[in-house]
Amino acid sequence: MYRPLDPPSRILLGPGPSDCHPKTLLAQAIPVIGHMDPAFVAIMNEVAELLREVYGTQNKLTLPMSATGSAGMETVTVNLIEPGDNVIVCVNGLFGERWVDVATRAGANVTVVEAPWGEAIDPADVEAAIKQGSFKAVCLVYAETSTGVRQPLEDIAKIAHDHGALFVTDCVTAIGGIPIEADKVGIDAAYAGTQKCLSAPPGLAPVTFNQRALDIIMNRKTKVQSWYLDLTMIAQYWGGTKRAYHHTAPISNVFGLHQALGLIHEEGLENVFLRHATLGKALQKGLEAMGLKLLVKNPEHRLPNLTTFLIPEGIDDATVRSQLLSQYGIEIGGGLGSLSGKIWRIGLMGHSCRARNVIMVLGALETILTELGYKCDKGASLAAAQEVLAEK
């Protein structure tokens, strides 16, 4: 039976999606035009240029794949990796584990370098692994969505390059929230999603490849295993001198991404990064003042835009998240994998990264936890957050 859509209003403070700016939503209501229309081609060029800005790159091959962020992982993997290639995948969370699976399905011989969930990968471990053989790529998650770890990149990028390997990164939770600086760091290829700090709806996966990575793609010995994600063809649609049809692009999604990236451009990247850093710190200080323990012990490895903290003993995960949703309309995330039922994840990403949301979620969380018997200094969390906000 058909019934009109009437979803509830929510404040999205989970690990994604984040709230979309009203202007971004309106952009998706613009009438559709053809995907080969010269006017749409001009918009594609603008989107690519705006993506270069948030990636911190001049890479010619920078575009949004017509699929969600997980397809970004597939895209970089199946285009760069051929059966029998040796790759290193760094794993300190669920999405590193997923990358192992994706690379294995592409026929790679995968060497895993691990760190405990909640900690960063040690560059020394990567160096020890890469000395054991010849590797085509080192794959690393920059912002691990399952743990809230911000992984330092420079040392591992240098190790990869010193041993002739590509350096490939997952930037899904990073893009638009923290600096990536792909060219400066030496990232050869990266992928992201639109639904987090870019504050566009899910449905596109921005990717970028430098010339070194592009040369490898264009000189493969075998066909890319996925026709839909094959950049040897898609590059001709997004950047060829004569646009070659590959598939019908999700035109409305591209309109929305254009607007979302435009809002970031207007605010200024430095201001965007400062907003995320300041409000992330305010949230984390507020949680600590409530007596809650952050999962990531090293402050330098904490993401400002995705905070993870331990569920207090005796408190039920689902009960709290259910009450936040039903009583306050606030969505936060639970733990994944081995952290299921052990942590909560609060995202302050893109349009969701606002001071009012910090105060709102801290107040709501304190109220619910207190009602469930958790002991804390009432009002301390809000005071701690306000102190950080007053420093601006």
Q: Is residue 341 part of a domain?
A: yes
Same domain for 258 and 145? yes
Q: Is residue 11 part of a domain?
A: no
* Alpha carbons 121 and 119: distance in angstroms, whole number: 7
| pLDDT given at position 330 | 98
Same domain for 276 and 235? no
CATH number of the domain where residue 120 is located = 3.40.640.10
Same domain for 239 and 376? no
CA angle at 35 for the pair 78 and 239, rounded to the nearest 5°: 50
* Alpha carbons 197 and 175: distance in angstroms, whole number: 6
Same domain for 195 and 287? no
Same domain for 235 and 296? no
Under 8 Å CB-to-CB from 124, ≥6 apart: which residues? none
Q: Is residue 1 part of a domain?
A: no
Q: Residue 266 CB: number of other CB atoms within 10 A?
A: 9
Same domain for 281 and 231? no
Residue by residue, DSSP assigns 153-217 as -HHHHHHHHHTT-EEEEE-TTTTTTS---HHHHT-SEEE--SSSTT---SS-EEEEE-HHHHHHH
Cβ atoms 203, 25 nearer than 8 A: no
Q: Which residues of the chain have pLDDT under 70?
A: 240, 392
Choose the final residue of a domain: 265, 300, 323.
Answer: 265
Same domain for 260 and 274? no
| pLDDT given at position 182 | 98
Q: Is residue 234 part of a domain?
A: yes
- Percent of residues in the chain assigned helix, strand, coil, to nearest 5: 45, 15, 40
CA angle at 96 for the pair 92 and 101, rounded to the nearest 5°: 140
* Alpha carbons 318 and 333: distance in angstroms, whole number: 10
Same domain for 118 and 220? yes
| Residue 320: domain span | 269-389
* Alpha carbons 297 and 299: distance in angstroms, whole number: 6
The amino acid present at 200, given as its one-letter code, is A
Same domain for 220 and 314? no
* Alpha carbons 362 and 384: distance in angstroms, whole number: 10
Buried b (16+ CB within 10 A) or exposed e, 106-144: bebebbebebebbbbbbbeebbebbeeeebbbbbbbbbb
Same domain for 360 and 246? no
Residue among 2, 33, 18, 9 nearest 264 (CA): 18
| pLDDT given at position 392 | 62
Tokens of residue 297, six digits: 């012990």
Same domain for 306 and 228? no
Q: Domain tally for the chain?
A: 2
Q: Which long-range contacts (CB under 8 A, 24 or more apart) does 387-391 make?
A: 387/285, 388/278, 388/281, 388/282, 388/285, 389/278, 389/279, 389/282, 389/355, 389/358, 391/278
CA angle at 199 for the pair 198 and 204, rounded to the nearest 5°: 70
Residue among 107, 12, 3, 6 nearest 350 (CA): 12
Choose the final residue of a domain: 265, 292, 323.
Answer: 265
pLDDT digits (tens, 9 = 90+) for 305-349: 999 999 999 999 999 999 999 999 999 999 999 999 999 999 999
Listed in order, strand segments (DSSP E) in 265-363 are 306-310, 330-331, 333-334, 343-347
| pLDDT given at position 242 | 80
Choose the final residue of a domain: 265, 296, 322.
Answer: 265
Q: Is residue 175 part of a domain?
A: yes
Q: Is residue 7 part of a domain?
A: no
Residue among 84, 123, 122 nearest 104 (CA): 84
Same domain for 353 and 247? no
Residue among 198, 220, 218 nearest 210 (CA): 218
Q: Is residue 16 part of a domain?
A: no
* Alpha carbons 71 and 300: distance in angstroms, whole number: 30
CATH number of the domain where residue 307 is located = 3.90.1150.10
Q: Is residue 150 part of a domain?
A: yes
C-alpha pair distances (Å), 86 with each of 138, 139, 162: 9, 11, 16
